[in-house]
């Protein structure tokens, strides 16, 4: 989901007819088998509600070796994006991390079917590995910028590590987003 946004994209023009400001981008380095990422969902929902299309949430994949289904889950999230329901799929899988732990790939396909996605195509995508390069690229980029655990956030060039503690992270993201949005306002 490197180039995706679970929030709606900014309009190409504001109501007054002037060009719309691009949204502030919050990269969310996530792993779909990670309990900490599941707990971060509430913060992400609150950020989407507060900022709407002024903040673009970009899911970046960072599967961890300690979770044996995380790489398949990242590929499945890419297939969900391709089928038009990336973020709802991510939330559904993260909401049931324990079930993913127990059931693995069959669970990923089942969730796709529950959401009305083409489950057969999910199964095929997991077998043929069509999304492996996207997941590999995200993981390599994450390592290059110092991501070591999930969730990790990058906003305004600042990396915030939620893998160790999520305490105060949403507030810190809000501070940076508010500052960046205010700076955008100064340029118009």
Q: What CA–CA distance (Å, rounded) separates 55 from 9?
A: 9
* DSSP category for residue 8: P
Cβ–Cβ under 8 Å, residues 91 and 124:
no
Residue 94 CA from chain centroid, whole number:
11
Q: Looking at residue 164, what is its pLDDT?
A: 72
Cβ atoms of residues 34 and 97 within 8 Å: yes
Q: For residue 162, what pLDDT is reported?
A: 80
Please report, in angstroms and rounded to a whole number, the separation of the first and last CA atoms in the chain: 31
Residues shown for the chain = 188
Mean pLDDT by 10 residues, the chain (188 residues): 40 45 93 93 93 94 94 97 93 95 96 97 96 97 94 95 81 95 74
β-strand pairing of 24-30 with 152-155: antiparallel
Unique residue bearing structure tokens 């160790």: 164
pTM over 0.75? The answer is yes
């Amino acid at each position: 989901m490197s180039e995706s946004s679970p929030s709606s994209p900014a309009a190409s023009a504001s109501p007054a007819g002037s060009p719309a400001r691009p949204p502030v981008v919050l990269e969310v380095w996530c792993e779909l088998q990670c309990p900490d990422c599941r707990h971060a969902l509430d913060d992400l929902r609150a950020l989407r509600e507060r900022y709407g299309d002024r903040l673009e949430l970009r899911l970046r994949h960072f599967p961890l070796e300690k979770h044996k289904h995380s790489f398949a889950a990242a590929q499945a999230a890419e297939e969900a994006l391709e089928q038009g329901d990336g973020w709802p799929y991510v939330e559904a899988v993260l909401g049931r991390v324990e079930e993913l732990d127990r059931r693995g790939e069959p669970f990923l396909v089942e969730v796709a079917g529950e959401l009305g996605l083409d489950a057969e195509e999910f199964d095929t995508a997991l077998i043929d590995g069509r999304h492996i390069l996207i997941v590999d690229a995200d993981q390599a980029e994450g390592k290059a910028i110092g991501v070591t655990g999930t969730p990790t956030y990058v906003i305004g060039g600042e990396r915030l590590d939620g893998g160790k503690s999520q305490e105060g992270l949403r507030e810190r993201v809000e501070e940076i987003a508010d500052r960046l949005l205010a700076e955008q306002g100064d340029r118009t």
